């Protein structure tokens, strides 16, 4: 059993929305879990114990990305400044039709390298060729909730394929992999397919990761075609009878929020994408007041260009103040609660992630605090939300294993990843007229 | 005369809003200016010529910060999650009453260290004890437009003090320093004081850097008290007869925009502050369509927490797409035009800054391009707006002099700056009831 001992780092504690920094703490890690945190812990007499100098570093819970399409980093910068319809139909869906399983593997590794460098230890990924993403999780050492996205037009046989993926990979990679089902969205599946998905999820004992109510148009279309909102369709088809990650959910009605408050579903919030695609905004207090968990997400780099959760954290807090035209909205502590406690709840791991405490998984990011941009350290929690950046992350631990130390990745060969992807870029950037994985409704 | 020769870097060119990356270019710098740019330039036979390896780096014009209160970095993180009125009256104005000239010097150096590390080579600073800021500019090697902020209640004698500052420092530091007048804002000075300021500026042959129309309330108050908007007050008092930097100008009327289109004034846009303080937004196309120059700014770190222009660039583009609910708004090229050409115009240096070309000042930032977060490099210009970050800046040149190389600051002793400021922090963070430098109208 691997063991780590972090000496003398500062530790972020949330204390119910009143963040505090505990100075000069030691963190003892045994296997995958935090064993103890305190000042001047005795260094265990254990030959296998690896000591990490934490002086000058701030320990935070490993950041969580609750909704991503990790391999889309392959398309970073390829689709800019177009409408949502064009983004899907002219670019992303045609580009994705080029992807092979091997492309997805290397794309997933690129995205995981970026996430680890940004202090992200967990990701809920929603894509296809997910065996390859699972293999990348094995390699990278991250923790992941993986769902194989499926469209209604792909039919029940493909849904069954995604069920077999769930069975193949559940609990693998030392327990770091959780597998769920991933019907794409109500508007791309329809109620019958959602019912089938819900039955399958119940039988498998897993949750469902799905996009819902991303735009006002989607809600209007659902009301017109089905007489109910997309969220209500999830409820009526049984999807919300299992744990659920709801990607975006920017346009829930008040009734939708009430529905969500009674089930085991959380909302994955990716504000950079919403700004960039002009999708509008949600006043998050509506969800928080109803007790609906909200977590941070990056969405895919095709829209958000990065897989950087600190960036999304900052944008979330800024946009909420803007949405309410009130600078007292979403204070620092509340933003951090969403980033840590909320994201852990969305991943259905509220008891094991999102805080640094004995018994929790040893998923930890250690941030340098010596940058001029985070000086003075009058309020390190405010610095974390408004001044820090991913490049401040020095060391990353997941499941008790070191993934990065002194900014050097230990599990991923960056040059190999770049070389593999470079050789594929020309093919990946082609678009064949009429060839696309799905069609976004106009 | 110092000379630099940058070998084999990529160079960003804007081409009227169609950004292109010229690959493998050499840049020859003679004295303060760019002498030549091209592929395979002959390396001059000059013993004094310092060669910089540019392979793998992207050269961009040095970033410009068109409106800042640099020494406010001393108060980073001290004032969070409060109303605008409280921000001024309960925190910032009381905190600023603690400042000594020496505090301002060290604060200015801290802010300049942060800016250089983020690729910023020019700043228009608006603060007090500006001789100290000028000394920090001498030390840091940056380029600066400096204005000593003055409130109406401080009277004509203090205005005259700021004129003497203009005379003392105009053109100093090898021409890197430009000095202007800095009446604080219409609502803190009033029309008579603005008239005096305009006359002084004309006599000195300098411009005026001023806050204007920051909130809807300020405009309403001006209409109520004076019957005209703050912008119109600037026009009627003669302020707009001289070159002007207008900090924020978030709420110009259509008539105001027409006024601004006919004068030599530019708007300094600091969107992170606007989000954070819930101040609302401006649709920038209104200004751009009228030909009013718009540049990027950070405002003070008391509100924006960083002095990071790449961050403001990204937020500007995202917020404009959000404001119009249209992802085609402000494409990458237009955002870069504002960052470079617009900012240079706002600084009244449109012919000498904001582009990399022979004859322009050698103000250059070289960014690393090997990060996973900016891979693939399908569109380096899109990466610059949506994926890069200040930490990617490797080397910074201003006025032909190296200020940072391989991320090591060459002009500022960071540890000394931190030590000096640490010794002052306890005193600086105190607030004495009733002691403040000014009062913000409720």
Residue ranges covered by each domain of chain A: 3-61+362-406, 63-346
Residues facing residue A55 across a β-bridge: none
Question: Residue B386 and residue A276: Cβ atoms within 8 Å?
Answer: yes
| Measured torsion, CA atoms of residues A178, A183, A185, A188, in degrees rounded to the nearest 10 | 160
Query: What Rg do the C-alpha atoms of chain B give, in angstroms?
Result: 21
Task: Give the tens place of pLDDT for each residue, A319-353.
Answer: 999 999 999 999 999 999 999 999 999 999 999 99
Rounded-to-integer distance, Cα B353 and Cα B395, Å: 18
Q: Are B402 and B396 in contact (CB under 8 A)?
A: yes
**Each residue of B123-177: pLDDT tens digit?**
999 999 999 999 999 999 999 999 999 999 999 999 999 999 999 999 999 999 9
Q: What is the C-alpha to C-alpha distance for residues A174 and A185, in angstroms, rounded to an integer?
A: 30
Q: Nearest residue of B to residue A379 by CA position? A: B77
Cβ of B83 and A306 within 8 Å? no
Q: Which residues of chain A neighbour B78 with C-beta distances below 8 Å?
A: 378-379
In this predicted structure, the answer to whether residue A2 has a pLDDT above a threshold of 80 is no
Say yes or no to pLDDT of B310 above 80.
yes
Asked if B382 lies within 8 A of A280 by C-beta distance, the reply is no
Q: Which of A74, A81, A330 sits opposite B331 (nearest CB)?
A: A81
Whether A110 sits inside 8 A of B325 (CB atoms) is no
CA distance B314 to chain A (A): 10
Q: At what angle do helices A414-422 and A101-117 cross, to 10 degrees?
A: 140
Question: For residue B117, which residues of chain A lie inside 8 Å, CB to CB?
Answer: 371-373
Separation of first and last alpha carbons in chain B: 55
Between CA B36 and CA B55 the distance in angstroms is: 17
Mutate to test the interface with B, among A21, A318, A379, A440 (most CBs of B within 10 A): A318
Tell me the torsion sign for CA atoms B27, B30, B36, B41: negative
- Domain B3-61+362-406: CATH class, spelled out: mainly beta
Q: Do A373 and B325 touch (CB under 8 A)?
A: no
Q: Which residues of A touch B87 (CB under 8 A)?
A: 327
User: Which candidate, A61, A183, A189, places its Cα nearest to that of A128?
Assistant: A183
Residue A201, token pair as written in the block: 């999820």
Closest partner residue to B328 (CB to CB) among A81, A387, A429 is: A81
Query: What's the CA gap between B359 and B352, in Å, rounded?
Result: 7
Using DSSP, state whether A90 is helix, strand or coil: helix
d(CA B283, CA B202): 32
Nearest CA in chain B to A393: B391
Q: What is the pLDDT of residues A262-285, one digit of tens each?
A: 999 999 999 999 999 999 999 999
Q: Give the gap in angstroms from C-alpha B5 to the nearest C-alpha of chain A.
A: 29
pLDDT (0 to 100) of residue B1 = 64
In angstroms, rounded to a whole number, what is the distance separating the alpha carbons of residues A122 and B116? 34
What pLDDT is stored for residue B45 in this prediction? 82
Query: pLDDT value at position B68?
Result: 98
3-state helix, strand, coil in chain B (%, to 5): 40, 25, 35
The model's pLDDT over A235-255, given as tens digits with 9 standing for 90+, comes to 999 999 999 999 999 999 999
The confidence score (pLDDT) of residue A48 equals 81
Q: What is the full DSSP assignment across B246-285?
A: EEE-----HHHHHHHHTTTEEEEE-HHHHHHTT-----TH
Instruction: Read off φ and ψ for residue B212, nearest 5 degrees.
Output: -155, 140
Task: Using the CB atoms, write b or e for B180-205: b if 16+ within 10 Å.
Answer: bbbbbbbbbbbbebbbbbbebbeebe
Cα-based angle A284, A285, A287 (whole degrees, multiple of 5): 70
Strands (DSSP E) contained in B270-407 are: 294-296, 364-368, 393-398, 401-405
Query: How far away is chain B from the Cα of A103, in angstroms, using its nearest Cα?
Result: 13
Task: List, for residues B17-58, the tens digit of each pLDDT value.
Answer: 899 999 999 999 999 999 999 999 998 888 788 999 999 999
pTM of the model: 0.97
Q: B74 contacts in A (CB within 8 Å)?
A: 376
Question: How far apart, in Å, are the Cα atoms of A298 and each of A104, A223, B316?
Answer: 18, 28, 19
Domain A63-346: CATH architecture, name and number where available? Alpha-Beta Barrel (3.20)
Q: Which residues in chain B are contacts of A300 at CB distance < 8 A?
A: none
Nearest chain A CA: its distance from B220 CA (Å) = 17
Residue linked to tokens 């410009």: B64
């Amino acid at each position: 059993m691997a063991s780590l001992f972090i000496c003398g780092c500062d530790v972020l504690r949330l204390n119910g929305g009143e963040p505090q920094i505990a100075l000069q703490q030691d963190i003892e890690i045994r296997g995958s879990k935090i064993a103890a945190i305190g000042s001047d812990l005795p260094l265990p007499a254990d030959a296998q114990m690896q000591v990490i100098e934490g002086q000058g570093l701030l320990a935070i819970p490993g950041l969580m990305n609750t909704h991503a399409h990790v391999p889309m980093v392959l398309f970073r910068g390829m689709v800019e400044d177009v409408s949502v319809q064009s983004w899907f139909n002219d670019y992303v869906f045609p580009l994705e039709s080029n992807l092979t399983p091997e492309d997805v593997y290397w794309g997933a590794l690129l995205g995981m390298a970026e996430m680890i460098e940004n202090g992200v230890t967990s990701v809920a990924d929603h894509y296809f060729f997910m065996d390859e993403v699972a293999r990348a999780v094995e390699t990278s050492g991250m923790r992941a909730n993986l769902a194989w996205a499926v469209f209604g037009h792909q039919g029940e046989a493909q849904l069954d394929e995604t069920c077999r993926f769930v069975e193949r990979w559940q609990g693998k990679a030392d327990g770091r992999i959780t597998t769920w089902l991933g019907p794409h969205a109500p508007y791309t599946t329809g109620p019958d397919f959602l019912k089938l998905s819900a039955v399958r999820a119940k039988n498998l004992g897993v949750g469902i990761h799905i996009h819902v109510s991303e735009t006002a148009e989607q809600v209007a279309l659902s009301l017109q075609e089905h007489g109910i909102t997309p969220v209500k369709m999830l409820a009526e088809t049984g999807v919300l009878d299992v744990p659920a990650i709801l990607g975006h959910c920017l346009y829930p009605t008040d009734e939708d929020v009430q529905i969500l408050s009674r089930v085991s579903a959380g909302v994955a919030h990716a504000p950079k994408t919403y700004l960039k695609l002009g999708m509008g905004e949600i006043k998050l207090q509506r969800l928080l007041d109803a007790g609906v968990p909200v977590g941070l997400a990056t969405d895919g780099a095709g829209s958000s260009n990065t897989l950087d959760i600190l960036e999304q954290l900052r944008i979330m807090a800024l946009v909420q103040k803007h949405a309410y035209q009130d600078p007292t909205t979403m204070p620092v502590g509340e933003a951090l609660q969403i980033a840590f406690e909320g994201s852990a709840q969305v991943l259905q791991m509220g008891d094991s992630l999102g805080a640094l405490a004995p018994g929790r998984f040893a998923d930890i990011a250690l941030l340098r605090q010596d940058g001029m941009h985070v000086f003075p350290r009058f309020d390190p929690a405010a610095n974390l939300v408004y001044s820090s950046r991913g490049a401040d992350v020095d060391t990353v631990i997941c499941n008790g294993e070191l993934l990065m130390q002194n900014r050097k990745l230990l599990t991923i060969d960056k040059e190999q990843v770049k070389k593999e992807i470079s050789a594929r870029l020309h093919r990946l950037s082609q678009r064949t007229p009429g060839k696309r994985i799905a069609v976004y409704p106009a």
